[in-house]
A and B are shown apart, each in its own frame.
Chain A
Amino acid sequence: MCKQTVIELTVNNHPGVMSHICGLFARRAYNVEGIACMPVNGGSTSRIWLLVDADERLNQMIKQVDKLEDVLMVERHDGGHAVFTRMAEFVA
């Protein structure tokens, strides 16, 4: 099984943002294994966590995501993230 990593994004919170981000992955046939999203700062921005396979295209994916106008910050957590370990309990 491929090693997984978590990308954490801070984005402007409006209805089109998710389609911008998901579109970048979908057109490159890059599967997103898990998604979590919550509003922050009173709803003006959101935090999105993406659980993805860490294959050789990941750096390019991150650069593409970083280019999006509505993406304010990109962080990468190679050691995983508590969001998904806790979410895993719901599907166990």
Chain B
Amino acid sequence: MKFSGAEIIIKLLERQDIEIIAGIPGGANLPMYDALSASPIRHILTRHEQGAGFIAQGMARVTGRPAVFFATSGPGATNTLTAIADAKLDSIPIICITGQVPLAMIGTDAFQEVDTYGLSVPITKHNYLVRSVDELLCVIPDAFRIASSGRPGPVVIDVPKDVQTAMLEFDAWPEPGGCGFGPELMAPELAHAARIIDEAQRPILYLGGGVVQSGSSALARAMAEKASIPAALSLMGLGALPVDHPLCLGMLGMHGARHTNLAMERCDLLIAAGVRFDDRATGKVAEFCPDAKIIHLDIDASELDKIKSAHVPVAGDLVDSLAALLELVRPADRSPWLGEVAGLRCEHPVIIPGADDPCSSYGVILKAAELAGEEAIVCTDVGQHQMRTAQVYPFLRPRQWLTSGGLGTMGFGMPAAIGAALAAPERTVLCFSGDGSIMMNIQDLATAAEHHVNVKIILLNNNALGLVRQQQDLFYGKRYFASDYARRVDFLKIAEGFGLPAIDLGCSADPGAALAEALAQSGPCLIHVPVSADDPVYPMVPPGAANSQMIGGKVHV
């Protein structure tokens, strides 16, 4: 057989079962687009390459499988970088294929030339600059293997235009790249870990994104139940255990519940699974779980002993390590500890101001959750609305919750929600956003309208950068600078201009009914909720402080 490089790329993507690719064509990737036009793969034309990257992330986060997006050379490639860095920090398997100027022109400052390979080195799990057409037969399957194996992550493949047009004669297609095996478990470490768990009086499970990624949430739950161990969730771990599970402590960290952070202070053993001790989760590390021994389970050996040194570090796939530990630990009832944890919850309950008011920032989240039902996927941007959703949304299953955790990218939400809706067209996707965040990728409202995706954007508009303003309020003497917008944008008209139906809950006589009606329609919709800029998200741990030093969120304040 004889194919061009571009045809080889598209055919190999088909063989990887890629069904949707988001992206934007340009001079240097037109051969790939020409080949794509003859493929059954559906293309989603975005208005900005960052949007394409987050659409790919949305698909990958929902399915757990690598998703692909395209960009041209130069500005196309630089526009993808934020979405790629975001995927690196949250360990999301995406593959970005960029066009590049022809090989002979590389390094000459050619039109739309940028060093995509060099730019993407620190923000990818691995990256390629393909120098000859035959390399594609290895590089494409390898990219899928690397993106999905071990700790998942993004891969960039930069393909010069003349490599795309070069012809190659070859005999057989390579096997698609799949997920490899995790590191082999060390039996003595597991036995040691099980013994420490059995001996612990006040153990806590600390579950993170790795539990979701590895598909081990059922094992984590079984472990919690067998040994009566309460479990705290990191931001990325939400959904690993249903919030209504009696052993679920909810989210810990900077905006975690008081009782959760206080229980962490009291534990004598921390079983950390698929977490990386992020500073927003731990607060001041030296005072995080000060009395606890640590068992750290992770597929990435470099996470072990990175921030906190573990008494028992276990490198391995959580599916293997949790299954092995589940076998080894003895059943226990630990009623004194569970009683103490319940007491903390009673003494420091979660306070939800305005829970019954669907026009308030918490109330609309709860009302939308009730109306959208258990099947909904929940996506957020970054800011106060994100923390509030993390705090109160009743998450029940893994991969229900898509948020930019590590990089904290404003602009993530709406395009990621489009990706989620494309990957799971049968579900409703709720996208909670803020006026600051949505403006960072507002252009892809056009994409949402064009593809009639079932995304309900719930826009909490305080006409400010809420979390910035909150820090200025608490830690910078209320000197609000550059955090309030001087002009109000009319988001209803913006939505209308992009072809999306929109409603304003603020001027609705029956906001609950209006929200229900909006969610019941198929296709995209913008739901505008004006909120105050003066309501901080509580509790809050000041940056750099210990998690025990929470501000606000008390019963009598």
Query: Quick check: B302 and A67 within 8 Å, CB to CB?
Result: yes
Do A16 and B121 have beta carbons less than 8 Å apart? Answer: yes
- CB pair A64–B118 under 8 Å, yes or no, is no
Q: How far is the CB of A37 from chain B (nearest CB, A)?
A: 18
A60 and B301 CA atoms in complex are apart in Å by: 9
Which residue of B121, B127, B300, B306 has the most chain A CB atoms within 10 A of its CB atom?
Answer: B121
Asked if A19 and B146 sit within 8 Å, CB to CB, the answer is: no
Judge whether A23 and B122 touch: CB under 8 Å: yes
Judge if A86 is at the interface, Cβ distance under 8 Å: no
Residue B126 is within 8 A (CB to CB) of chain A in the complex: yes
Instruction: Assess the A27–B146 pair: CB atoms within 8 A.
Output: no
Which residues of chain A from 17 to 47 have a CB within 8 Å of any chain B CB? Answer: 19-20, 23, 27
In this complex, which of B118, B126, B302 has the most chain A Cβ atoms within 10 angstroms of its Cβ? B302
Q: For the complex, is A89 an interface residue (Cβ under 8 Å from B)? A: no
What is the distance, in angstroms, from B124's C-beta to the closest C-beta of chain A?
10
A63 to B126, CA, bound (A): 16
Taking a contact as CB atoms under 8 Å apart, the answer to whether A69 and B146 are in contact is yes
The interface residues of chain A, by DSSP majority, are classed as helix
| B300 touches which of A15, A67, A68 (Cβ 8 Å) | A67
The answer to the question of A59 belonging to the interface, with a C-beta cut-off of 8 Å to chain B, is: yes
| A69 nearest CB neighbor, chain B only | B126
Q: Which of A16, A19, A20, A63 contacts B301 (CB 8 A)?
A: A63
Question: Among B117, B146, B302, which residue has its beta carbon within 8 angstroms of that of A64?
Answer: B302
B125 neighbours in A (Cβ, 8 Å):
69
Cβ contact within 8 Å between A59 and B305: yes
Asked if residues B306 and A16 are in contact (CB atoms below 8 Å), the reply is no
Residue-by-residue, is B283-319 near A (CB-CB < 8 Å gives 1, otherwise 0)? Answer: 0000000000000000011100110000000000000
Contact count band on B: 10 to 19
Q: Bound state CA distance, A59 and B305, in angstroms?
A: 9
Cβ contacts under 8 Å, A64 to chain B: 302
Q: Bin the interface of chain A by size.
A: 10 to 19
**Bound Cα distance A66, B301 (Å):** 10
- Complex CA–CA separation, A16 to B130 (angstroms): 11
Instruction: Assess the A20–B121 pair: CB atoms within 8 A.
Output: yes
One of B117, B126, B146, B306 near A60 (C-beta < 8 A): B306
Q: How far is the CB of A65 from chain B (nearest CB, A)?
A: 9
B35 at the interface (CB under 8 A from A): no
Report the bound CA distance from A67 to B129 in whole Å. Answer: 19
Residue of B nearest to A16 (CB): B117
Contact assessment for B121 and A19 in the assembled complex, using a CB-CB cutoff below 8 Å: yes
Within 8 A of A (CB), among B138-178: 146
Count chain A CB atoms within 10 A of each CB in B125, B126, B300 and give the residue with the most. B126
Smallest Cβ-Cβ distance to A62: which chain B residue: B302
Complex Cα distance, B117 from A64, in Å, reads 19
Contact in complex: A23, B121 (CB < 8 Å):
yes
Q: Is the CB of A63 within 8 A of B117?
A: no
Contact B122–A27 (Cβ < 8 Å): yes
User: Least Cβ distance of B70 to chain A in Å?
Assistant: 21
* Chain A residue at minimum C-beta to C-beta distance from B142: A69
Shortest distance in angstroms between A3's beta carbon and chain B's nearest beta carbon? Answer: 20
List of A residues within 8 angstroms of B121 by Cβ: 16, 19-20, 23
Asked whether, in the complex, the Cβ of A63 is within 8 Å of the Cβ of B129, the reply is no
Bound state CA distance, A66 and B302, in angstroms?
A: 9
Complexed CA–CA distance, A82 and B444 (Å): 58
B contact residues around A67 at 8 Å (CB):
300-302
A66 to B306, CA, bound (A): 15
Q: How far is the CB of A77 from chain B (nearest CB, A)?
A: 21
CA distance A20 to B127 in the complex (A): 10
Residue of A nearest to B126 (CB): A69
**Contact partners of A23 in chain B: CB under 8 A:** 121-122
| A61-82 interface bits toward B, Cβ cutoff 8 Å, 1 = contact, 0 = none | 0011011110000000000000
Q: Which residues of B contact A20 (CB under 8 A)?
A: 121
A60: B residues at CB distance < 8 A:
302, 305-306
Q: How far is the CB of B95 from chain A (nearest CB, A)?
A: 14
Q: Mark B94-126, 1 if CB is under 8 A from A, else 0.
A: 000000000000000000000001100110011
CA distance A36 to B106 in the complex (A): 27
Closest B residue by C-beta to A60: B306
A16 touches B127 (CB 8 A): yes
Residues of A within 8 A of B302 (CB): 60, 63-64, 66-67
Give Cα A67–Cα B117 distance, bound, in whole angstroms: 18
Decide: B306 and A19 in contact? CB cutoff 8 A. no
> Which residues does A use to contact B, with CB under 8 Å?
15-16, 19-20, 23, 27, 59-60, 63-64, 66-69
- 8 A-B pairs with least C-beta separation: A63-B302, A69-B126, A23-B121, A23-B122, A64-B302, A19-B121, A63-B301, A67-B302
A59-B305, A60-B305 known; 17 new pairs, CB 8 Å cut-off, are A16-B117, A16-B121, A19-B118, A19-B121, A20-B121, A23-B121, A23-B122, A60-B302, A63-B301, A63-B302, A64-B302, A66-B302, A67-B300, A67-B301, A67-B302, A69-B126, A69-B146
20 contacts between A and B (CB under 8 A): A15-B129, A16-B121, A20-B121, A23-B122, A27-B122, A59-B305, A60-B302, A60-B305, A60-B306, A63-B301, A63-B302, A64-B302, A66-B301, A66-B302, A67-B300, A67-B302, A68-B126, A69-B125, A69-B126, A69-B146
Interface residues of B (CB under 8 A from A): 117-118, 121-122, 125-127, 129, 146, 300-302, 305-306
